[in-house]
Amino acid sequence: MKIAFIGAGKVGAPLAARLAEAGHEVVFAESRGASASVASALTRSKRLTSRPLAEAVSTAEVVFLATPFGANESVLRPIAPLLVGKVLIDCTNPVGPGLTHGLRSERSGSEMVQSLAPEAKIVKAFSIYGFENFEDPSYPGYETTPAMLFCGDDHRAKELAADLIVDCGFEPFDVGGLVQALHLEHMTLLWVRMVRAQGHSPGLAWGVLRRPKQNKA
């Protein structure tokens, strides 16, 4: 699959490398020429490349948005026409002062992303953990795989996202339409408060447990 990453920081870099090593054609989109963050991210895998923003996005099937949330508007508005019909995976989170929701919980960050790229197929994913779990999603000794909750309104887009979630080492768990994005963003804030503020291990991950179906007598 052809994938473009907008953002090569602590979230974008490890996810891009995992997907490249899984066999996808992954490119970093550069908006201001050569950047130090992209140069550093490229060292993670020989399969990674970089291209100018418009070129990277126009040739991609799936675009990952892994920027600081405050940069979303300036990044997305100019390329919105290039995102028509494309899957846009929103990894961003609006975080406000005191680890509050940056949009005061009046709407989700993903809904704002959708307003900036109205004809893209938005999927909220890779947003409920800190970067540590993207660096290493393995949990030896456990029978369960860490869950990656995701949501969106387009069924096919979510199928593609689920496949990429598996390739990154997580168990995909579809929680519904994009209306659920606000709840995932609060889940992120919970993780951040527990780990960054309260001192829990950054290896903390969510899991999905299912009871076997029991036959009725």
Identify the pLDDT of residue 213: 82
Under 8 Å between Cβ of 114 and 83? no
Under 8 Å between Cβ of 119 and 83? yes
Identify the pLDDT of residue 210: 87
First-to-last C-alpha distance (Å) of the chain: 47
- Helical axes 109-116 vs 181-192, angle rounded to 10°: 130
Percentage of residues in the chain having pLDDT higher than 90? 93
Mean pLDDT of 202-214: 90
Where are any strands of DSSP class E within 55-119? 62-65, 87-90, 95-96, 100-101
pLDDT tens digit sequence for 71-118: 999 999 999 999 999 999 999 999 999 999 999 999 999 999 999 999
Confidence of residue 217 (pLDDT cuts 50, 70, 90): low
Residue 106 tokens, joined: 């009046």
Identify the pLDDT of residue 41: 97
> CA-based Rg of the chain, rounded to a whole angstrom?
17
H or E element that contains 26: strand 25-30
Percentage of residues in the chain having pLDDT higher than 70? 98
Q: Is the pLDDT of residue 57 over 90?
A: yes
Q: What is the mean pLDDT of the chain?
A: 96
Identify the pLDDT of residue 84: 98
Mean pLDDT of 138-150: 94
pLDDT tens digit sequence for 4-43: 999 999 999 999 999 999 999 999 999 876 789 999 999 9
Identify the pLDDT of residue 63: 98
What length does the chain have? 217
Would you call 49 exposed, middle or buried from its count of C-beta atoms within 10 A (0-12, 13-18, 19+)? middle
Identify the pLDDT of residue 96: 95
Identify the pLDDT of residue 176: 98
Where are any strands of DSSP class E within 46-139? 49-52, 62-65, 87-90, 95-96, 100-101, 121-124
Q: Is the pLDDT of residue 138 over 70?
A: yes
H or E element that contains 138: none
Would you call 27 exposed, middle or buried from its count of C-beta atoms within 10 A (0-12, 13-18, 19+)? buried
Domains in the chain (CATH in brackets) are 2-197 (3.40.50.720)
